[in-house]
A and B are shown apart, each in its own frame.
Chain A
C-alpha cells in the first residue's frame, strides 16, 4: 500500500473500520513513519474535541420542507429548458430565444440536407457527365465517327440541362 493511501486510511483506523489485515498494515506503517504518527495524534485530538460537543435537536420544520420538495411533481422538459434560458438571461425574451435556437438549427441542418441532395443529384447526373467527357476525349481516336460522337454529346448535353432526349420520345 502506498504512503498516500495509508495516510488516507488513518481516520478509519482510529474508528476501527478497517479489516484486520489493513489495520495491521497501518499499524506497521505508523511504527516507521513519524509524519503519520503526528497525523494520528492530531486526529485523536480532533475526535476528542468533537466528542465533547453537546448534541442539539434538528429544527422542527426541517422534515416538513424536505417532504414538500419530494412531493412536488417533476418539471417538464420545456420548463427545465426555459429555466435554463432564464439562468442564461434569455428568459425575458422567449420569442427571441426560440428564434436564435431555430437559426442555429437551420445553420446546422441546411449543409447536411444540401450535402445529401448534392450527393443524390451527382448520382443522377454522373453517367451523362461521364459519357460526354469520354466522347470528347475519344474524338482524338483516328477512326471515331464524328456524326455519332456529335449525337452522343448532344444527348448528354440535353440530359445535363434536364431535357433528356428519351423522355421527349415518350411524350
Chain B
C-alpha cells in the first residue's frame, strides 16, 4: 500500500514537473526549473504564478512579522487544493490558537472557537494576478537568481526581487520541482527584515480531500457576514457617483504605480471611496471620507507631514497613514515606507 502511494507521489511530481516545464517553455523566457541548468528569474516567477493550479499541498508554516513595536511569530497549518481552495489552522500564539479559516475560492469562513463565532466574507485566494500589471511590474523590479539552496530537504531556487525605487525587497526560496514558495523574506531599506515565512514541513498531493475545504457552520454559533465593498467603479468619476461625495486623485504616484480599480467601502458608519493603485507586484489603497462623517482616527504614531499632522500604524509588512486634507479624512495603506506614503499624501493636497 505504502509502495503504491510513493509511486503515485512520484508520478504526481513528474506530472507537475512536466507541466511547469511546459508553462515556462510557452513563455519562452526559460526552458525549465529542471535539475540541470539554473533557470532565469522570469522562469522562476512564472513557476510561482502557475504553482497554485498545478499541485495540492499541506504543510506547517512559521511566520515572523513585525507588528508595531513587537515581533510576532505565528505557526499555521496551511493546506491548498487546486486551483484556489485554502484551509488555515492557526496553532500559535495562544491568541490565535484554534482559529480556522476555510476559503473555497469564492467565500472565506473564519471560525473562532473561543468566541464561538463565525465570520463570513469574500475569498482572498481567488484573485489571479492581473497579467498586464504583472508584466509591467516586472519592469520595475530587478529580479536575480542567487543560486540554489536546500530547504526542508528540497532543492530551491533563490530569487531576489529588489524594487527600482523604494518599497519591499523580497527573497524567495522556490521549490524547484513544484514552484511553491517554501521560504520568503521581506525587508525595507530602513527597518531591515520585516517579514519571514517558511515551511517546516510540506507534503505534496494532487488529491487532498474536498471536505477539508468546505465549511459547515457549527450549531449555535454567532454568525457575521462582512462584504464591505460595492461594485467596482470603472474610473474616478463613477467612483464619485457611487460614493455620493467628491473624491480626489493624487497628483503623483510612486514609481510604476497606476490606477487599478475603485469601490465604495461601507461598514456601519464608515463610508469610504476606495481606490487601489498597483505596480504589478504590490498594491496601495487610498480611502477617502468627508470629515463630517468621520472623526480623527487615534491609532498610530503622530508624524509630521508637509500639510500638517498624520498618524502611522506600522504593521511591518503593511503601513497605514491617516491624515486630513481639505475636508476629507484620508488613509493610505500599503507596503511602502512611511516616507513614500507621506509623498503620496502630499500629492493629494496638490490636486484641485
Contact = CB atoms under 8 A, between A and B. Distances in A.
Given A126-B322, A133-B229, A136-B122, A145 B117 contact: no
A166 B294 CA distance: 24
B294 A133 contact: no
A9 interface: no
B285 interface: yes
B269 A118 contact: yes
Contacts of A34: none
Contacts of B322: 126-127
A140 B130 contact: yes
Interface string A152-171: 11100110110101101100
- How big is chain B's contact interface, by range? 35 or more
B292 to A, nearest CB: 7
Contacts of A133: 228-229, 265, 274, 285, 287
B334 to A, nearest CB: 7
B117 A122 contact: no
Interface in B94-133: 94-96, 99, 101, 103, 108, 110, 112, 114-115, 117, 119, 121-122, 124-125, 127-130
A155 to B, nearest CB: 8
Interface in A15-60: none
A140 B224 CA distance: 24
Contact of B285 (A126, A130, A160): A130
Contact of B268 (A121, A141, A157): A121
Given A130-B331, A137-B276, A152-B318, A146 B117 contact: no
A112 to B, nearest CB: 12
Interface residues of A, number: 44
B88 A147 contact: yes
Given A122-B268, A123-B297, A142 B48 contact: yes
Contacts of A137: 260, 276, 283, 285
B6 to A, nearest CB: 28
A108 interface: no
A127 B315 CA distance: 12
Nearest to A154: B110
Given A142-B45, A148-B317, A151-B96, A125 B267 contact: yes
Contacts of A152: 315, 318
Contacts of A161: 117, 119, 224
A135 B226 contact: no
B344 interface: no
A130 B320 contact: yes
Contacts of A166: 95
B63 interface: yes
B9 interface: no
Nearest to A136: B124
B125 A139 contact: yes
B295 A123 contact: yes
Interface in B16-65: 45, 48-49, 61, 63, 65
Contact of B267 (A129, A141, A142): A129
Given A161-B224, A165-B95, A123 B294 contact: yes
Interface string A46-78: 000000000000000000000000000000000
Nearest to A163: B115
Given A134-B333, A146-B86, A157-B226, A141 B125 contact: no
Interface in A91-125: 118-125
Contacts of B300: 127
A133 B317 CA distance: 15
B170 interface: yes
Contacts of B298: 123-124
A131 B312 CA distance: 12
A104 to B, nearest CB: 24
The 3 closest A-B pairs by CB, nearest first: A123-B295, A140-B127, A118-B269
9 contacts: A119-B292, A122-B268, A123-B294, A137-B276, A140-B283, A143-B184, A151-B63, A161-B119, A165-B95
Interface of A: 118-127, 129-143, 145-154, 157-158, 160-161, 163, 165-166, 168-169
